[in-house]
Amino acid sequence: MKKFLFFIGALVLIVAIVGVGYWLSQKNSGGEQTGDEGGLVLPEDIVGDGGLPKQNSSSSLLPEVKPLKTITDVFGFLPVSEDEIIYIKTDGKIIRERGGVLESLSEGRVENLQGSDISRDGSFVFLSFGDRNSPQSSLFDSKNKTWQPFAESISAYSWSQTGASLAYLVRGKGGNDLMTRDFSDPKSKPKKVLTLHMKDVQIDWVAKDKILLTEKTSAYTTGAAWMVGLTGSTLENVFPDQLGLRVKWDGLINKGLAWTGNRAQRGGSLLLIGANQNILQQFEFMTLPDKCAFDTEMIKVSTTTKIAGSKKLATTTVEIAGDTSLFCGVPQNQRLLQINPTPDTYDQRAIYTEDNIYKIDVKSGNIQLMPQDSWGAVDVGDIKISGKKIFILNRFNSNLIELPIF
C-alpha cells in the first residue's frame, strides 16, 4: 500500500512539473522581453479573445473606405506618385498607369519570377527570374523599353531613395562585393564599395549615403543588421545578433522595425528601434516588419537671413520630417505566428494570415483600425504609401488594392 501511495505521489509530482514547464513554454513562445519599455497594445475595445483584433468594433475606428481600384495578378509594384504607379504582372509584363491611362511597357513573358525592384523615379525595373538557386538578372529601361541582362551572379539589390542608382551584391573572389551604379548616366561604371565576408545578405538603400545590410535568418539561426556608409565605405553594426531577425528601416526618421525570435523558436516580438541599437517600443501584438509601412508628413520650413554687405534678404526653404504614422497588417489569428517557427513558415507559404490594417501614431501610440468589409480578406504581402494613398498587395490572390488614407 505504501508503495502504491508513493507511486501516486510521484506521478502527481511529475504531472505538476510537466504542467508548469508547459505553461512557461507557452508564456515564452510569444517572444522574450528585450527592452524596459511597456508594450504597445491594441485597444481593449477592438481586441477579442487571446488578443485578436476584431473588425466589427464601433470605436477607435477610422472612417470606412472603399478601394479606389483593384489590380489583379500583380507580382511587384511601386507608386511613383499619387497619380502614377508601375507594376509587374505575375507573367513578368510591366505596366504603367498614369492619370488613369494604362501603358504596356514591356512585351513577352518572364518565366519563374523570383524578385523585383523598381527605381524610385520609375525609369528602371530590375528583375530576377529562372532557377531559384541560381537566378538570372535583367534591367528594363522603361523610357527606351529595352532590356539589359547582367552577366554577374547577383544575390541582392536595392534602388537608391532618389534617382536611378542601384546597389547590388555580386560574388567576388574574396566574398560578396557591394557595388553601386548610376543607370541614369549611360557612361557610368560600377563602383565597388566594399567586400563582405558573409553569406545570405539582404540589402536596402535607406538614405542618400546609407545602405542597410541584414543577414538572412530563421527561427533557428541568428543574424545581425549593419549600416554601410557610402562616404568612406564604413560598416557599423546597428542591431546585434538575434534569432529570426528581420529589419525595416526609414531613413527619413532614422527609425525602424525589427522582428526578433526567441529561444523557444516559436513566435517572436515586433520592436520599434532607433539609430543607436536602442529599443523605443515593444509591441504586444505580433506581425512582421514586411507587413508595415511608415508614413511621414514632410513639412516645409522657411528661414530668412540677411545677405552680408547688403540690405537684401535671402529665403531658404527645407523639408523636415513631421508626424509619423505606421500602417500595419496585423494577423487576426495571432497564434499562427505564436505556435510556428516565424518567419520560416510564413516565408515558405506554409501559413497565410488574415490581417486587419491598423494606423499607429508613432509618437503618441494611438491605434486606429481601418474597417475593410468592402475589400474582403487580406494577407498583407507588401504595403507602400504615396501621398494620400495606401497600396496593399494581397498575398492571398496577388491583387493590388489602392486605398485613400486619413
Got the DSSP string for 167-192? EEEEE-SSSEEEEEEETTSTT---EE
Give the three cell numbers for residue 17. Answer: 512539473
Pairing of strands 113-118, 154-159: unpaired
Q: How far apart are CA 302 and CA 233, in angstroms?
A: 34
Q: What is the pLDDT of residue 313?
A: 75
How would you classify residue 290: left for phi > 0, otherwise alpha for psi between -120 and 50, otherwise beta?
Answer: alpha
Of the candidates 406, 346, 344, which has an alpha carbon nearest to the alpha carbon of residue 380?
A: 346
Q: First vs last Cα of the chain: how many Å apart?
A: 74
| Angstrom distances, CA of residue 262 to CA of 314, 333, 336 | 56, 20, 16
pTM of structure: 0.83
Q: What is the pLDDT of residue 304?
A: 78
Edge-to-edge strands of the sheet including 39-40? 39-40, 279-283, 269-273, 255-260, 246-250
| Each residue's pLDDT tens digit, 30-77 | 333 333 344 556 655 444 433 434 444 334 788 888 889 999 999 999
Helices (H) and strands (E) in the chain, counts: 3, 29
Q: Confirm if 171 and 156 have CB atoms less than 8 A apart.
A: no
Q: What are phi and psi of 288, to 5 degrees?
A: -90, 150
| Each residue's pLDDT tens digit, 325-357 | 999 999 999 999 999 999 999 999 999 999 999
Q: How far apart are CA 292 and CA 303, in angstroms?
A: 35
| Each residue's pLDDT tens digit, 160-194 | 999 999 999 998 777 899 999 999 998 999 999 99
Distance of CA 1 to the CA centre of its chain: 65
